[in-house]
Chain A
Amino acid sequence: MSLCEMTHQCKAALCMLLMNLTISNTRLQVTNSSCNFPDGPEKTGDIERIKNEGKELTKEEKQRLRKEKKQQKKNKEKKDEKAPLESEKEKKPASSSPASQATAQPPTQKASSGVPAPAPVPVAASEAPSPVDKPAKSKAELKAERRARQEAERASKQSKKGEVGQQAAPSKAKAPPSELQPVVKRLPEHIQVDNPEVLKKLAKKLERQQIPLRSDYGYKVSLFSHLHQYSRKAPLTQQLSIPSSVIHPAIVQLGLQYSQGIVAGSNARSVALLHAFKQIIRDYTTPPNEELSRDLVNKLKPYISFLNQCRPLSASMGNAIKYIKKEISNIPSQCKEEEAKSKLQDCIDCYINEKIILAAKAIAKYAIEKISDGDVILVYGCSSLVNHILCEAFEKNRKFRVIVVDSRPRLEGREALRRLVQRGISCTYVLISAVSYILPEVSKVFLGAHALLANGYVMSRVGTSQIALVAKAFNVPVLVCCETYKFCERVQTDSFVSNELDDPDDLIVTRKGKTHLEHWQDVSSLGLLNLVYDVTPPDFVDLVITDLGMIPCTSVPVVLRVKNVDQ
């Protein structure tokens, strides 16, 4: 605190001096005080005298000042070199009390000025008179030391900034925080579409993997301009050769099915992906001088990029890919190719069996406990797991009826409705705009999930959070059903940061022969937004039914931790 006051006092004194002196170069004044200490304490006294007296500097004094300025410049350069080392030392001294620091500072500064031999002497010299002249010199010395320290810190900061600026920063937004945090976190590419650097990097990577780049389509609403938006009428296969040689045909077929929506839904996509991987592994032959465990993983990378271009990967697909890559890398090098391939295929079958089929059975078993006779259950969209639960409950002769809530443009609820009615369950069908009208009748809400995030948020089809909110307002319990393989280590609190934009032309509908939105691109102030996912906060979710049991939403990180420990 006292240092600050002294700084102000010095500054005030300097200003006065400036006004009086004809020398307008303020640097001289600053360097004047800071280059005091290399010359020794006697100069301090001179300049102090001048300042206190307010007299004009004589010619000799001006020359002396100029010399001191030159020396100061040299000292500064040497200080810059040793600034990173000094910054540590300076930081430590800065934390402790300033008074005791005052004497410690000049020795370090003297050392950094590149004169190590006389350093101990001035130390002794400064230390010797310091207790004697403490009241008189402490002010000036402190001021000089402080100034030197400030300059050293400034120099060290500049050098640090230089280092950070030289890095090819993946995101501009992260540059300022990186100075504060030691760890620079990389944002994934698919949510930085408005950053041209990131796009260039992506284009280079795809070019290297020989995969065509899919171009964005249409005007994007500004809030979501950081996400990709593709058109279904421009498939990626347009730019591929027809007997696809770079990408395995199974992957091309899968990518087409994803982009056209033929395979939709988290479980279906994962199963189809693993099926395609099985075909790839079957058709794979290890090239000479390569190891299966490393080469196969490298072969999978362009395929995954291709699938990502067709449709952004889901969390469940990401987890499945991680599992496969781990299994492939864990194959011992002595293993023969045929053996390894059959082992991998068994692993895939095992994974699907455990994580999807058996998990569905386990979840159905838990969920049926929660369904009692006379229940009115509300479901949203078409979740394969929720449909499975309801069908199983119906088989076990529970008496309940279902209300299916649907929303445009996907209208997936119709498919759910068909599957339930085919089994014989009595259903009601409403659109999401009627949810608050129908909720007084509802006793429970069952929701499916696309992924469960590490902070307990549920990522699901857009509209789910709305239903959860309204259900909460009506005090209706909301149960989310989700397998553990969909648990994701990501954290998200809003639906903007990471989402998926579907084809905006899906919103165009023809009624009575008229298509009002046909030329929406020509209207400059109109944007069509077709969101796919949204996140529901854990306050609205009462229970999550997983294959490990029924857990509250906030226990998701525990499950993740346990899973990681197991693996």
Chain B
Amino acid sequence: MEFQAVLMAAGGGSRMTDLTYNTPKAMLPVGNKPLMWYPLNLLERVGFEEVIVITTKEVQKMMSADPKIKQDVKMKLEVVCIQEDGDMGTADALRHIQPKIKTDILVVSCDLITDAALHEVVDLFRAHNATLAMLMSKAHEFTETVPGQKGKKKTAEQRDFVGVDESGKRLLFMANEADLEEGLSIRKSILRKHPRVHIKTGLVDAHLYCLKKSVVDFLTDNKSISSIRGELVPYLVRKQFSKTINGQKTKDDVEDQNQKKSDSKLHISSRDEPLLQLAQERSCWNDHRGDMSEAYHGGKLRCYVHIMDQGLCYRVNTLAAYIEANRLAPKLFEEPVVHPSAVTSERCQIGSDSIIGASCQVAEKTSIKRSTIGNSTTVKEKVKVTNSIIMHGVTIEEGCNIQGSVICSNAIIGRGADLKYCLVGNGQRIESIAVFQLKECVSVFVLN
């Protein structure tokens, strides 16, 4: 077997607590499908037959209850449960499942919605015998107004600086603004080997990584690394140019040996190393030109990145991303606007960019535009829903006007309520003839 897929679905959704305080992030409905269905679908389309899902007990329960996952996903899902409250990072989770890992792994995060061609990432991993290959995408501006947020101003998100070489494939350095104190410093050794570096900031990390098996073994020894994205990836990228890996292994110093022991796990040691060396020597190919070094500058550890410039790639970890994803996710799949089991009366207007979920009841004289209505929702007469996301089991009484809002599951909106750019939590109840609007960034959040 070439790859084992690992889906990280234990994340808490710390950046959108409004939505996730009741529903775990992995099961948030996007386009009436649970969020984790999208990466599972991606893996299934590409040809995987088995996936290891790392998640919490709660998500596991919801997964087994969810019809979409049970029916549509044909792959074998091996669920590994971890503690919810424990501060288990993604790398810790990998360490936890290390006994199950037999080959190279493909790690995917549950909040990834993309239509990328995965073979581009995997081909880089295979062809260059890389240690790490990851997927990134050009970030798109979020155009929708987000309820509960001050207008269009973005929260001061820390930028990521990503340095790639001339070809745009080799990853040279990666740093987050938070880690940089004064300025961005690049090691001379990198510049000597790669005189032309392209530094990009507006990239979205898709959290899709191809890792060699030796990296997982390395993690078991180095227990200090707890997050893949935060610690492991920058470590690997830095180690590409580290002297201990590239230098000649002729020294027998004690400290060198100690270092070698910890780093030796990172070496790609195949049993026929001399043959591969011979093939590389005899091959007339070099990945760079202009200096006297051989291909890859003799480095054994290589990190590659595939940057998509076209196509969808979203990480649903903020409210804005969630709303954007709801807008665009239906376009990924050709599905009917109205679910066959929904009951809609003839005199309601349902726009073509809306989705009506299963077992819905939509009464007359309603207008639903650019919205997503979840399963088992009841919409009574004369309701206007625009630009909103309504989750499962919601009841909307007559005469409501909902605009640009997010209504979570099992909420009840009373008669005649007028909501603009609001976010209604789980199971809340809006009294009749209530008027809530977001004017000039006054956020309203109803919590009983």
Residues of A within 8 A of B (CB): 235, 237-238, 240-245, 249, 252-253, 256-257, 260-265, 267-268, 271-272, 274-275, 278-279, 282, 352, 356-357, 381-382, 384, 412, 414-416, 418, 421-422
Contact = CB atoms under 8 A, between A and B. Distances in A.
A104 to B, nearest CB: 71
Contacts of B1: 243, 245, 249
Interface stretch (B191-199, B280-288, B389-397): B280-288
Interface in B252-298: 271-272, 275-276, 278-286, 289, 292
A171 to B, nearest CB: 35
A384 B285 CA distance: 11
Contacts of B282: 265, 267-268, 271, 384
A381 B284 CA distance: 9
22 contacts: A235-B119, A235-B123, A240-B119, A241-B48, A242-B2, A242-B48, A242-B118, A243-B2, A243-B3, A243-B49, A253-B127, A260-B127, A263-B285, A275-B272, A356-B278, A357-B278, A381-B284, A384-B281, A418-B286, A418-B292, A421-B292, A422-B292
Kindly state the interface size class of chain B when it binds its partner: 20 to 34
Interface string B3-26: 111000000000000000000000
B119 A238 contact: yes
B275 A271 contact: yes
A262 B128 contact: yes
Query: Interface residues of A: mostly helix, strand, loop or mixed?
Result: helix
B366 to A, nearest CB: 44
B129 interface: yes
A552 to B, nearest CB: 27
A352 B277 CA distance: 13
B332 interface: no
A274 B278 CA distance: 12
Query: Which 5 A/B pairs are nearest by Cβ-Cβ distance?
Result: A241-B47, A382-B284, A268-B283, A249-B2, A268-B282
Contacts of B284: 264-265, 268, 381-382, 384, 412, 415-416
Contacts of A268: 279-284
B196 to A, nearest CB: 15
Contacts of B433: none
Given A237-B122, A242-B48, A278-B272, A262 B127 contact: yes
A238 B117 contact: yes
Given A263-B285, A265-B284, A271 B279 contact: yes
A234 to B, nearest CB: 11
Nearest to A237: B119
B446 interface: no
B406 to A, nearest CB: 35
B47 A243 contact: yes
Contacts of B435: none
Contacts of B129: 253
B47 A262 contact: no
B278 A256 contact: no
B97 interface: no
Given A243-B49, A272-B283, A416-B284, 5 more contacts: A235-B119, A240-B119, A263-B283, A268-B281, A384-B284
Nearest to A244: B2
Interface string B115-133: 0011100110011110000
Contact of B127 (A256, A272, A274, A421): A256
B46 interface: yes
Interface in B105-121: 106, 117-119
